[in-house]
């Protein structure tokens, strides 16, 4: 009978180790879940704020470059495209 009780104690010890490991994982995952929920809440608040502001803003239908104020600007040199072209219009830097 002694060996049966020893086997049960060994299994109980192994189960306890497993439970403690899972509890530690749960704490970690719960922390990550809390961070994710906080991020989600910030995004919801941002969306609601933008939705509240949008009706008050003037409606402007332009292409993306104009919306960002990038029309006429060279991406490569970050200046007006015309001023970056050579005299012959080749696109070479002056």
Instruction: Quote the pLDDT of residue 56.
Output: 72
Q: Is the pTM of this model over 0.75?
A: no
- Going by the DSSP 8-state scheme, the letter that residue 84 receives in this structure is G
pLDDT level of residue 22 (50, 70, 90 thresholds): very high
Instruction: Quote the pLDDT of residue 37.
Output: 98
Question: Which of 19-23, 70-74, 80-84 is least confident?
Answer: 80-84
Instruction: Compute the distance between CA of residue 6 and CA of residue 12 in angstroms, rounded to an integer.
Output: 10
Domain spans, the chain: 2-84
Mean pLDDT across the stretch 52-75? 61
Instruction: Quote the pLDDT of residue 94.
Output: 42
42 Rama sector, left if φ>0, alpha if ψ -120 to 50, beta otherwise:
alpha
Q: Which residue has the higher pLDDT, 75 or 24?
A: 24
């Amino acid at each position: 009978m002694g060996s049966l009780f020893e086997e049960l104690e060994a299994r109980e010890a192994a189960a306890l180790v497993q439970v403690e490991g899972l509890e530690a994982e749960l704490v970690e995952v719960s922390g990550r879940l809390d961070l994710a929920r906080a991020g989600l809440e910030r995004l919801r608040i941002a969306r609601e704020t933008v939705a509240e502001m949008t009706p008050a803003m003037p409606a402007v239908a332009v292409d993306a470059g104009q919306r960002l104020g990038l029309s006429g600007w060279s991406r490569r040199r970050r200046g007006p495209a015309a001023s970056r072209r050579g005299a012959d219009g080749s696109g070479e830097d002056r």
